[in-house]
Amino acid sequence: MTSAAPRALHPGAGQDALAPAIVVERLTAWYGAHSAVRDVSIAFADRTVTAIIGPSGCGKSTLLRCLNRMHEVVKGARVDGRVLLGGEDVYGGAVDAAVIRTRVGMVFQRPNPFPTMSIWDNVGVGPRLLGHGGHELSDMIESALKRANLWEEVSDKLHTPAISLSGGQQQRLCIARCIAVQPEVILMDEPCSALDPASTIRIEDLMRELARDHAVIIVTHNMHQAARVSDFTAFMLADDGGGGVIEYEDTDTLFTGPKDRRTEEYVTGRFG
């Protein structure tokens, strides 16, 4: 099993778009004695959407959680290798994990608004922790809700409980909460799996909009979703030693002309 980087992070684009937002070097992640991800090296381009696909158990979500140090919150979990954000190893000894989770935000599979907080307070919790208040805080909350395409739906009920929103609205609220602190990278772990088709389309449209300013990295089991929204796709597969990247290309190439037989069999539905 090999890991790889795309031959061109953003073919035909300018150098700014080519720059990687986050780089993984020889990453191995364990749960106790079990390696879930093994020796993965991959670079995720800035201002693009990258999809990570593969069958269940191949390490997709683990890899995602390693990018913002969420993996280490699991008892017995550990990581070897490097994750470079702005050239700095996020696992460096002097690096604050809480700061990394601000710079690399995460949206989970199921909407998880803070149930005892209002819509306003859900979005404002991060900026408040960073010391923002007053008019600046209000502007940050409004801006995040607008960027999450939620402002028009909630502007007249900002102080009502967040859990009063529909499932799709709650997920967009979680995205607003994530982007309120202006992260460099946005991670999304199957963000549409619990949503209806209409809400899924809205989240997919939002991914594309967010990629104008951020690197967006999503884990998805939905091949059609990966094909619709992503610029690049990484296919992962596991063996007894853990999950690795089999192939990583621009999305059109990976789906229409994969180089590895296992990639072709997966994207055509022969297994997984």
- The CATH fold assigned to 15-110+187-267 is Rossmann fold (3.40.50)
pLDDT band at 270 (very low <50, low <70, confident <90, very high): confident
- Quick check: 1 pLDDT over 60? no
| pTM listed for this prediction | 0.91
- Quick check: 25 pLDDT over 50? yes
Report the pLDDT averaged over residues 263-271.
91
Q: Which of 255, 267, 85, 96 is nearest to 187 (CA)?
A: 85
**Residue 16: its pLDDT value, please?**
44
Handedness of CA 118, 122, 123, 127 (dihedral sign): positive
First-to-last alpha carbon distance for the chain, in angstroms, is 17
Structure tokens of 65?
Answer: 């959680």
* Residues 162/114, Cβ–Cβ less than 8 Å: yes
**Residue 5: its pLDDT value, please?**
45
Domain assignments of the chain as residue spans, ordered by start: 15-110+187-267
Beta bridge partners of 23: 43, 84
- Quick check: 120 pLDDT over 60? yes
Report the pLDDT averaged over residues 132-155.
95
**Residue 272: its pLDDT value, please?**
67
Q: What percent of the chain has pLDDT over 70?
A: 93
**Residue 68: its pLDDT value, please?**
96
- Quick check: 17 pLDDT over 60? no
**Residue 6: its pLDDT value, please?**
45
- Quick check: 10 pLDDT over 50? no
